Amino acid sequence: MKPLTIALSKGRIFDETLPLLAAAGIHPTENPEKSRKLIIATNHAHIRLVIVRASDVPTYVQYGTADFGIAGKDVLIEHGGDGLYQPLDLKIAQCRMMVAVRKGFDYAAAVQPGCRLRVASKYPNIAAEHFADKGVHVDLIKLYGSMELAPLVGLSDAIVDLVSTGNTLKANDLEAVEHIADISSRLIVNKAALKLKYDVIQPIIDTFAAATQQAA
């Protein structure tokens, strides 16, 4: 059998991918939340998982170090998606990319033509494109996490971040003021690997597609 490497990130994507892997008869031998291992074996000697940061999944697949992986659309838009097939929306880890501000902040006034807005985000490309489309000048502040803090301590006027339940915004006295995009996780496949290992990868894609349709 041809060896297969699958890139996944810990947390929600890993948890929601487990049933898809199980449908394809793939069972990891360890839980990455408990194990510190970055390479996880499966019940198939030729299939292994590599556990990487969510934003690094496209890079591992792009360079062919992983044959395929699962990444959020947020990460894919930010990465650009070069060298990747994106054959399937898995409809997992669903959320929304939103603009949020402190409650009471006059967002409508702040995005008038000629105004300048300070925006903090882990997604500077998505944020830049969104505000460029609106014709609003922004000073972008790149953060790596806890974006909700930025407007509270005066680092920025607004944030661009993922919202799922809305509980984090609420707990921090923030409110969503604009919807940028619906986000879910996609299967991403290395283009060369799909050609060279078509007989192994395509049946897995087909199984994931059927399982995704069944869950919808």
Check binding of 93 to ligand AMP (CB under 6 A): yes
Check binding of 161 to ligand AMP (CB under 6 A): yes
Name the E strands within 11-113: 39-41, 47-51, 68-72, 84-102
Q: How many CA atoms lie within 13 A of 148 on its CB side?
A: 15
* DSSP per residue, 48-77: EEEE--GGGHHHHHHTTSSSEEEEEHHHHH
Q: Which of residues 53-72 bind ligand AMP (CB under 6 A)?
A: 72
Check binding of 214 to ligand AMP (CB under 6 A): no
Stretch that binds ligand AMP, among 26-34, 135-143, 152-160, 164-172 (CB under 6 A): 164-172
- Identify the three-state secondary structure at position 136: coil
- Identify the three-state secondary structure at position 8: strand
Task: Indicate the residue among 27 and 170 with the shorter CB distance to ligand AMP.
Answer: 170
Task: Indicate the residue among 65 and 168 with the shorter CB distance to ligand AMP.
Answer: 168
Check binding of 167 to ligand AMP (CB under 6 A): yes
Stretch that binds ligand AMP, among 43-51, 156-164, 172-180, 208-216 (CB under 6 A): 156-164
Least Cβ distance, residue 157 to ligand AMP (angstroms): 18
Copy the structure tokens of residue 160: 């661009």
